[in-house]
Amino acid sequence: MDLGYENPAAFTIMFKRAFGMPPLAYLGLRSLKTQMTVPAG
């Protein structure tokens, strides 16, 4: 998928400016929130 960035580093820099953290940290935070909201059986 082409998002218009010249390389992965350029995307990471813009992502960090927009969200305050790099993409992998954001994804880790999202998965942690998902795990916390799943009801225990």
Angstrom distance (rounded) from CA 17 to CA 32: 22
Q: Is-contact 23 15, C-beta < 8 A?
A: yes
Q: Which amino acid is it at 41? A: G
Please give the model's pTM, rounded to 2 decimal places: 0.60
Q: What pLDDT score was predicted for residue 26?
A: 87
Q: What pLDDT score was predicted for residue 4?
A: 79
Q: Is-contact 19 29, C-beta < 8 A?
A: no
Q: What pLDDT score was predicted for residue 32?
A: 62
Segment 1-41, tens digit of pLDDT? 566 788 999 999 999 999 999 998 888 876 666 655 656 55
CA-based nearest residue to 12, from 29, 26, 1: 26
The answer to whether the Cα torsion of 1, 14, 22, 26 is positive or negative is negative
